[in-house]
Amino acid sequence: MNIKEKYEAAKSEYAKWGIDVDKVLEELKKVKISVHCWQGDDVTGFEKNKEALSGGIAATGNYPGKARTPEELRSDLDKALSLIPGKHKVNLHAIYAETNGEVVQRDEIKPEHFKNWVEWAKERGLGLDFNPTIFSHPKASDGLTLSNPNKEIRDFWIRHCKASRKIGEYFGKELGQTCLTNIWIPDGYKDIPADRLGPRQRLKDSLDEILKEDIDKKYNLDCVESKVFGLGAEAYTVGSSEFYINYAAKNNILSLLDTGHYHPTEVVSDKISAMLLFDEKVALHVSRPVRWDSDHVIVFDDELKEIAKEIVRNDALDRVIIGLDFFDASINRVAAWTIGTRNMIKALLFAMLMPNKKLKDLQDEGNFTERLALMEEFKTYPMGDIWNYYCEINNVPVKENWLREVKKYEEEVLSKRK
């Protein structure tokens, strides 16, 4: 059988459970994944006076061919996006500004420094998201930024975040797609602090100042991201989960859940439903922690599928903003984007092809035997045939055929970068 014939056969299997596969694919095509630009250059950026990567972040490996210029990075993104079904967004950090060789301090960045990104995105129908870069900088060298006791340093980062919000607004206006501007800071202490409240008070005051200007949520959504610990901040993190969830709720902004930013025994899939009860929207950064926040490329594993199921079964595809956040310098970077993004979409498809209402009913009836049996049986339903057809109708390679495209691109483009 060819791909279409296998699709029709698989579709009939799901139809027995009242699942309209054609409708599922129509809904899936509307979902936009925010693909992070920093996988392509190992979080290096393009600042004239760039600093070594710091702030508890590490990109390990030295696979050849990383992007060295904005043009190379956009070319690599083009290649990856051509292998991924659907129309998506690209997530930028402030260090990806283009300043024509001038040294522009981070508190002085302007929308004009991202006009090339906007024109590129506009030509391709992409949206853009944004992040102030509050690490890898002399004013972050002691591990404290928005919570720093030094007012001069706090004020610098406040100005940077204010400038970042204006860039997010610019993206939203120019591209007609709302930009998510997400604030994450590395602030914390290596050993037991004598004062936990003071830094959090300073962080709260800094955020209050950053958010003073009202920006239309049609163009820009403000977001804060917590973390449980970082390298060099093992004992105490200022921006904890409790701090940011409370701050976001009180100030009517979004909380972002990063799948690597919790204790190893915690899972983000269990948090999504709780957040959805109280928040209009929730943001995600999806990566794969291996024992710690290691940001491995996401694979089609149980937790990724569980995250997708929580989004789908709670009718939250339009409420959960899905971004990716992994960076692996030990493998081909275009392949990393492709593997991870395809897996995220594949997990959503898997969740959309589950008899979710039936499973909920069984749970409410206390019929846990049938619930478990069906959940297990659907793991081997012919979802792969549906996925292959979805790739085909979106004009991207089916199965592992995308790897040939990446190998060719590596041979013709990446291998020539020295």
Catalytic residues: 184, 225, 227, 258, 261, 285, 293, 295, 325
- Distance from the Cα of residue 281 to its chain's centroid: 15
Give the number of C-alpha atoms closer than 13 A to the C-alpha of residue 121, restricted to the C-beta side: 26
Q: Are 88 and 345 in contact (CB under 8 A)?
A: no
Which letter does DSSP use for residue 230 in this model? B
Number of H helices, E strands in the chain: 14, 10
Exposed, middle or buried by CB within 10 Å (0-12, 13-18, 19+), for 212? exposed
Of 131, 129, 213, 223, the residue nearest 177 (C-alpha): 129
Instruction: Tell me which residue has tokens 């610990």.
Output: 229
Instruction: Supply φ then ψ for residue 202, to 5 degrees.
Output: -65, -40
Of 282, 297, 288, the residue nearest 261 (C-alpha): 288
Which letter does DSSP use for residue 56 in this model? S
Work out the widest C-alpha separation in the chain, in whole angstroms.
Answer: 68
Of 162, 66, 172, the residue nearest 127 (C-alpha): 172
Distance, CA of 158 to CA of 355 (rounded, Å): 48
Q: Are 66 and 415 in contact (CB under 8 A)?
A: no
- The tokens describing 300, both together, are 């089609």
Interhelix angle 302-313/269-278, rounded to 10 degrees, is 20
Of 287, 264, 344, 341, the residue nearest 312 (C-alpha): 344
Task: Measure CA of the first residue to CA of the last residue in the chain; give whole Å.
Answer: 46
